[in-house]
Amino acid sequence: MDNIKQLLAASKMAKTPCRVDMLHILLDSETALTEIEIKHKLSYDYDRATIFRNLRAFLKTGLLHAIALEGGEVRYQVSESRLQSHVHAHFHCKACSNLYCLNAVSLDKLNLPEGFEAEEFDLVVKGFCEKCTPEHAKHPRSAN
């Protein structure tokens, strides 16, 4: 709560109800969310332009980061350890389609072609999450 106030202050953004609500939702979420998911979880029906602009502003200040999935789906997440590492790793469940953040992934010794200079790594691992692995669920593979 107070945490959110600090986050906004650190980014020099006004503390408005919509922004607080958005960050609250994203901080509470175990998985990265789409713009529509965020909109649906908001306590008030804010205008889509407002949400759009706030997402854009959050990305600009680095408070959030976006992960693009196949099909053009974009999910947002609070960038907690953004500056510590340039590796962003996520796990995308093929059954429930949730997107989890993976920490502690190292990709240092990747052999790139001659003359290529790497700065960041975005990794998306696809499979089945703990709730949807064949052992735990019976019909999880229906989705894709």
Partner DNA sequence: CTTACAAATGCAACAATGTTGCAAATATAC
Partner DNA sequence: GTATATTTGCAACATTGTTGCATTTGTAAG
Question: What backbone torsions phi and psi does residue 44 show, to the nearest 5 degrees?
Answer: -135, 150
Site for a second copy in 49-78 (CB under 8 A): 66-74
**37 touches a second copy by CB under 8 A:** no
- By CB under 7 A, the count of residues binding DNA is 23
Rounded (10°) CA dihedral 50, 55, 57, 59: -170
Residue 90 has a CB neighbour count (10 Å cut-off) of: 20
22 vs 15: CA distance, rounded Å: 11
Site for DNA in 62-91 (CB under 7 A): 72, 74
Site string for a second copy, 10-29 (x = CB under 8 A): --------------------
Residues that bind a second copy (CB under 8 A): 66-74, 91, 94, 100, 102, 104-105, 107, 110-130, 133-136
